[in-house]
Amino acid sequence: MTDKIRVAVVGAAGAFGMKHLDGLMNIPDAEVTVVSGTRPEPTRAVAEKYGVENAVVGLDAVLERDDVDAVILATPTGLHASQTQAVLAAGKHVQVEIPLADSLADAEAALEAAESSNRVAMVGHTRRFNPSHQLVHNRIASGEFNVQQMDVQTYFFRRSNTNAKGEARSWTDHLLWHHAAHTVDLFAYQAGKIVQANAVQGPIHPELGIAMDMSIQLKSESGAICTLSLSFNNNGPFGTFFRYIGDTETYIARYDDLYNGREEPIDVSHVAVSMNGIELQDREFISAIREGREPNSSLRQVIDCYRVLGSLEKQLA
């Protein structure tokens, strides 16, 4: 292929839709030909902001176009699996934002669709691409470092149904199927296949219908362990913070930044061509399409994460 990969971003007016647009603008091999949303006015505003010629409403309006090679889905979680299957059925490549699904059955159905297609199918497990975690992964691969324990905190303050921009949501986020998915997949990526998993959760919110606090324990085939604490009740600081305790060093990862156990910063600017994890995952998506290969974070590679989440859901029930 010599021409640019023509990309549609669905859910473009949301917080992560715009993060993908920011990343795609830095990728020479990508051209955003259309953006899609649920409301015309915000979608047109995003198209104007990013210089995208076409703004449409809904996924169907994207799939019927002949100027779209690939679709990035930044839509509500409950739509991810069905929309992934629809994109593949239309013969287009797909990258779906994390999580792939909010049930194991839906995740398995999406995987089946991906494996029966000849298109690139990828999930936005951003932690695989953050330069901080990439550096740790590279040192594991080279034998310089082995994970003994990961201690992870995922904390937000969301006692109402709002998104990352502080705007009202039409759907409910979930600690298990969304936020835990980041760490469950990353732990397996860094320490090996997960062979044991346990979870407990706090009270169910009377209006949102979800647990606002959760604790998860994991063990990998290498013997490494992980303790993950999640909360929608924590009033700052916000985000996810990772402590890698290993045989030769301790690392603390805060998104794209990395520190040692003494809180001394580690330069990760040389790890990849960007310091933006979402841009890097989009670069992987575009490169995999152009090169005709399986991407890092393909549906096949991440499905074990959702199988672990499915087993934890049964425990919590």
**Domain assignment of residue 149, yes or no:** yes
Phi, psi of 4 (to 5 degrees): -70, 150
Residues 160 and 38 in one domain: no
Question: Six-digit token pair at 199?
Answer: 């979870």
What are the strands of the beta sheet with 5-10, ordered from one edge? 54-57, 30-37, 5-10, 70-73, 93-97, 121-124
Number of residues that this document lists for the chain: 317
Residues 195 and 246 in one domain: yes
Report the C-alpha dihedral over residues 109, 113, 116, 122, rounded to 10 degrees.
-110
| Distances, alpha carbon 232 to alpha carbons 210, 222, 229, 273, in Å | 10, 31, 11, 33
- Full DSSP string of 251-314: EEEETTEEEETT--EE--TTSSS-S-HHHHHHHHHHHHHHHT-PPTTBHHHHHHHHHHHHHHHH
pTM here? 0.94
Distance CA(197)–CA(36), nearest Å, equals 38
**Domain assignment of residue 317, yes or no:** no
Residues 72 and 158 in one domain: no
Number of domains in the chain: 2
- Encode 49-71: b = buried (16+ Cβ within 10 Å), e = exposed: ebebebbbeebeebbebeebbbb
- pLDDT confidence of residue 184: 98
Distance CA(50)–CA(276), nearest Å, equals 18
Residues 104 and 143 in one domain: no
Domain of residue 285 covers 5-125+277-297
Residues 121 and 188 in one domain: no
**Domain assignment of residue 304, yes or no:** no
Residue position matching structure tokens 């990961």 = 150
- pLDDT confidence of residue 1: 44
In this structure, what CATH number is given to the domain that contains residue 219? Answer: 3.30.360.10
pLDDT along the chain (317 residues), means of 10: 87 96 98 97 98 98 98 97 98 98 98 98 98 98 98 85 59 86 98 98 90 97 98 89 97 94 97 96 98 98 98 96
Residues 135 and 117 in one domain: no
**Domain assignment of residue 103, yes or no:** yes
Residues 189 and 258 in one domain: yes
In this structure, what CATH number is given to the domain that contains residue 39? Answer: 3.40.50.720
Residues 134 and 247 in one domain: yes
Question: Six-digit token pair at 248?
Answer: 């030769």
**Domain assignment of residue 258, yes or no:** yes
**Domain assignment of residue 315, yes or no:** no
Residues 264 and 157 in one domain: yes
List alpha helices for the chain, DSSP H.
15-24, 40-50, 60-63, 80-89, 104-115, 131-141, 180-191, 277-291, 299-316
Residues 169 and 212 in one domain: yes
Residues 87 and 139 in one domain: no
Instruction: Please classify residue 249 by burial: count the beta carbons closer than 10 Å to its beta carbon, then call 0-12 exposed, 13-18 middle and 19+ buried.
Output: middle
